[in-house]
Amino acid sequence: MQDVWLTGQPDAQRRITFKLDSGRLVWVVTFRYRGTYDGLLEGRPTDEINRQIVEAELKTARRAGSGAVQLLAPPTRTDDRGGVYLPPVCCRAELESSPMNREMHGSSLIVVWFAQRFFAEPLADFVPKSLRAVKWELDAKDFEF
């Protein structure tokens, strides 16, 4: 169920809305997160395991939405025993906005990113802070109802 007015604006009472650095107003339709290494039973993360995790997340995101997906490059850290670690939380948000082409009804983009734990701050602060720099016009796609 969508709660977007015919003006292309979100129902502000039920959505996290914010402006990207470009000035475009976007709103969060869905937000999901999981532990980055959930399911890794043994061993130390490597570049290859991390690549597989990122690819699996992107594949899941493409199946979940319109196919318009953007990955925010995750930082990594290494330990003294050769482990290469992504941040501990994998996040995915489906965003919508007004259309880029005025003949369409809206535009959407799913963004995948990795973050430190965020449970100490409100989600309405964490998501905008994490996604303000998203380049909407790079990957977003217009849609019709």
Determine the pLDDT at residue 11. 61
If you average pLDDT over residues 113-141, what whole number do you get? Answer: 92
Average pLDDT value for residue range 25-42: 92
**pLDDT (mean) for 26-41:** 92
Query: What integer is the mean pLDDT of 23-49?
Result: 91
Q: What pLDDT, on a 0 to 100 scale, did the predictor assign at position 23?
A: 96
Largest CA distance in the chain: 56
Classify the C-alpha dihedral 37-43-47-52 as positive or negative. Answer: negative
pLDDT exceeds 70 at position 10:
no
DSSP reduced 3-state for 59: helix
Q: What is the pLDDT of residue 48?
A: 93
Q: What is the pLDDT of residue 41?
A: 81
- The tens digit of pLDDT for each residue in 39-98 reads 888 878 999 999 999 999 999 999 987 779 999 999 999 988 888 999 999 999 999 999
| Euclidean distance between CA atoms 8 and 136, whole angstroms | 16
- Mean pLDDT of the residues in the chain: 88
Cβ pair 31, 91 in contact under 8 A: yes
Q: What pLDDT is attached to residue 53?
A: 95
- Calculate mean pLDDT across residues 100-124: 91
Residue 5 pLDDT > 50, yes or no? no
Q: What is the pTM of this model?
A: 0.87
Residue 114 pLDDT: 97
